[in-house]
Chains A and B, each alone.
Chain A
């Protein structure tokens, strides 16, 4: 995913794309997402009488919270043109470490702190391998995906650790008092605001876009490409560890296989949110919208008693449409150009 090597010839920003002001393209994408969201809500409301009740909001938040939280740092990483597939394994490893320490008599908050630290260290490992040794991030993070999950398995084996203080595990049962929001959603919103400010209103954010568009040019412009990528991975590791803690408390148990396979859901949400897989394009608003769309759609389909696996068709379909539509116009133009070329001959 690094540098320009992955980009097929036509995806490298052509003149046509470059002429557009970036935020206008983004705005168009987000308005598309809003349309999809409205359609989803109308569909959900007509199909299930229970959808527009307060508990729906809580359950959507509860189901999507950890995935949504992990999607934010991943979005930033994808914007620099890299990828992190180890997110779900880090979620599992952090929950495992926390559970293991807790079961050995540690204070639960101390155990959480160590889990967070482990997340940062794991992220740093990704960062060193990718920026220090210059290895492709997709390969490295498939490796750490297996490694982190494996370490979790070594630590906990088949055992399950429960027995956390009820004051903490209640986050999986009750919303924040006076609202219908789950705790993880509030954390997600907070992180999203921070990410949005960093990405859209600071030099660091501009640097992230610049790296994604042209890593080498960014380097020559004085941007510390390696350092920024490294710290993004560290942040990603720590945030995923946080998600792991929330996941553990939500289920009131720690298992080594917690959240197995979620990495692809997180990637799907980031891409649906309009973040270009080649980097340089995307917005936090898009990611948030994509979280809400996927969350409400899943909740509606669950209320309609559609099998969880079958719901995948909808998620996959959305993902496919989301990449084809923006490219569709250009593809049509290309085909037209080709036929025009053929006519005189």
Chain B
């Protein structure tokens, strides 16, 4: 027994070490970009600049956490941008009609709206066994359409959003923006759960091999619905944060976020075909993309370069991921071979 498990455990450890190195790599990239920009422009390292950096990355990082859960199961959730828009407007609308609503109600309401969309996405995907790409693409359109019909050409203005609510968007604790703290808490909690709990590990099993997972007794359908629900809930919560951050929203709020989120997740080392990746990596991916954007601005390189650099970086990240994957596979093979020789 031990002869089989020991090398296997060592192999897992080594693979895990490489994964951890992946997150380390992103952190290094962030540090390099940050450092190089600071040498160029010292204002980049000033407190308010760093605060802006963190605030700007928060929302995408939050959405990336939910998206990771879904992508790990070999699915995808393209509806997050629309959900953010819908939730932000509905929460704002409640404040317009009931100005004395406590701020916490706004966050709870936003989260619930997102969770409902997530449950529907998950149920359709699992019960009808329809590819999630199509289901959530349809949801992207439908939710945005519902949003537009509720908005009906109006807009939420900063005067209508209670101060207690918008404070979450700009206040800081010990110099750290509330937004960043909230998202960091979500990353830590979900990240811990994804490492520890059996139900969360099931998500990886489903993504690695759906058939094998089902045969092993993993309730795949239920887990996938759960992943979609959490992704939706986080997107809905993100909508409330969107309103807190910008204090204004119309029918086009957060349009196109879905692809930024998927990009952050991929840069963060989550395999697009499921089975591997961490929420920490995904969140760091969002921070890296935002750092690069801000660095271009700070280096007085025309902001027109933002997208081109982000796109090139994404391609490099995907290629790097592939190279890493091949290396792990080769190592595992050699480890197996060595074991057989013994």
| Distance of B26 from chain A, by nearest CB (Å) | 16
In the complex with contacts A6-B273, A157-B302, A261-B255, A316-B128 CB distance below 8 A: no
Interface class of chain A by DSSP:
helix
Q: Is the CB of A154 within 8 A of B304?
A: yes
In the complex, chain B residues 255-287 whose Cβ is within 8 Å of any chain A Cβ: 255-256, 259, 262-263, 266, 272-273
Contacts of A148 in B (CB 8 A): 311
Contacts of A11 in B (CB 8 A): 129, 131
In the complex with contacts A139-B318, A143-B311, A145-B259, A319-B137 CB distance below 8 A: yes
In the complex, chain A residues 300-323 whose Cβ is within 8 Å of any chain B Cβ: 307, 309-317, 319-320, 323
Partner of A143, one of B124, B214, B314: B314
Chain A CB within 10 A, most for which of B127, B138, B310: B138
In the complex with contacts A153-B307, A310-B148, A327-B129, A320-B322 CB distance below 8 A: no
Partner of A146, one of B152, B304, B310: B310
Which stretch from A22-30, A215-223, A263-271 is at the chain B interface?
Answer: A263-271
Indicate if A189 sits at the interface (CB-CB under 8 A): no
Indicate if B158 sits at the interface (CB-CB under 8 A): no
Contacts of A140 in B (CB 8 A): 315, 318
Contacts of B309 in A (CB 8 A): 150
Contacts of B145 in A (CB 8 A): 309-316
CA of A340 to CA of B202, assembled, Å: 28
Indicate if B162 sits at the interface (CB-CB under 8 A): no
- For A330, give the chain B residue with the smallest CB separation: B129
In the complex, chain A residues 1-56 whose Cβ is within 8 Å of any chain B Cβ: 5-6, 8-11
| Distance of B63 from chain A, by nearest CB (Å) | 15
Indicate if B319 sits at the interface (CB-CB under 8 A): yes
- Bitwise, A135-176 to B at CB < 8 A (1) or not (0) is 110111011111111110110010000000000000000000
Q: Is the CB of B315 within 8 A of A319?
A: no
Q: Is the CB of B315 within 8 A of A277?
A: no
Q: Is the CB of B311 within 8 A of A268?
A: no
Contacts of B306 in A (CB 8 A): 150, 153
In the complex, chain B residues 137-187 whose Cβ is within 8 Å of any chain A Cβ: 137-149, 152-153
Partner of B256, one of A134, A136, A150, A261: A261
Indicate if A228 sits at the interface (CB-CB under 8 A): no
Contacts of B152 in A (CB 8 A): 307
Contacts of A267 in B (CB 8 A): 137
Partner of B305, one of A136, A154, A330: A154
Indicate if A58 sits at the interface (CB-CB under 8 A): no
| Distance of A121 from chain B, by nearest CB (Å) | 15
In the complex with contacts A129-B319, A139-B318, A144-B311, A150-B305 CB distance below 8 A: yes
Indicate if A193 sits at the interface (CB-CB under 8 A): no
Contacts of A5 in B (CB 8 A): 74, 273
Partner of B128, one of A150, A153, A313, A328: A328
Contacts of A135 in B (CB 8 A): 318-319, 322
Contacts of A278 in B (CB 8 A): 131
| Distance of A143 from chain B, by nearest CB (Å) | 4
Indicate if B210 sits at the interface (CB-CB under 8 A): yes
Contacts of A139 in B (CB 8 A): 266, 272, 314, 318
Number of interface residues of B (CB under 8 A): 55
In the complex, chain B residues 108-154 whose Cβ is within 8 Å of any chain A Cβ: 124, 127-131, 133-135, 137-149, 152-153
Number of A-B residue pairs with CB-CB distance less than 8 Å in the complex they form: 171
Indicate if A194 sits at the interface (CB-CB under 8 A): no
| Distance of B147 from chain A, by nearest CB (Å) | 8
- For A125, give the chain B residue with the smallest CB separation: B315
Q: Is the CB of A319 within 8 A of B141?
A: yes
CA of A291 to CA of B135, assembled, Å: 20
Indicate if B251 sits at the interface (CB-CB under 8 A): yes
Q: Is the CB of A129 within 8 A of B135?
A: no
- For A2, give the chain B residue with the smallest CB separation: B273
Contacts of B266 in A (CB 8 A): 139, 142-143
Q: Is the CB of B141 within 8 A of A315?
A: yes
In the complex with contacts A157-B304, A309-B148, A9-B214 CB distance below 8 A: yes
Partner of B130, one of A144, A307, A310, A323: A323
- Bitwise, B283-318 to A at CB < 8 A (1) or not (0) is 000000000000000000010111111111011001
Contacts of B315 in A (CB 8 A): 129, 140, 143-144, 147
- For A137, give the chain B residue with the smallest CB separation: B272
Q: Is the CB of B314 within 8 A of A146?
A: yes
Contacts of B135 in A (CB 8 A): 320, 323
Q: Is the CB of A268 within 8 A of B310?
A: no
Q: Is the CB of B263 within 8 A of A143?
A: yes
Q: Is the CB of A8 within 8 A of B308?
A: no
Indicate if A110 sits at the interface (CB-CB under 8 A): no
In the complex with contacts A6-B74, A154-B304, A310-B145, A134-B137 CB distance below 8 A: no
Q: List 28 interface pairs A-B (beta carbons < 8 Å), by A numbering.
A: A5-B74, A133-B319, A133-B322, A135-B318, A136-B272, A136-B273, A139-B314, A139-B318, A142-B259, A143-B318, A146-B308, A149-B307, A151-B308, A154-B302, A154-B308, A157-B304, A271-B134, A277-B134, A307-B148, A309-B149, A309-B252, A312-B148, A313-B142, A323-B128, A323-B134, A324-B130, A327-B130, A331-B128
Which 9 pairs from chain A and chain B are nearest by CB?
A: A147-B311, A150-B308, A150-B307, A316-B141, A309-B148, A313-B145, A146-B311, A316-B142, A312-B145
Mark B residues whose CB is within 8 Å of A. 74, 76, 78, 124, 127-131, 133-135, 137-149, 152-153, 210-211, 214, 251-252, 255-256, 259, 262-263, 266, 272-273, 302, 304-312, 314-315, 318-319, 322
* Known A11-B131, A313-B141; further 17 A-B contacts with Cβ < 8 A: A9-B211, A129-B315, A136-B272, A146-B307, A146-B310, A150-B309, A154-B304, A264-B78, A264-B140, A309-B147, A309-B251, A310-B149, A312-B144, A313-B145, A316-B139, A320-B124, A327-B129
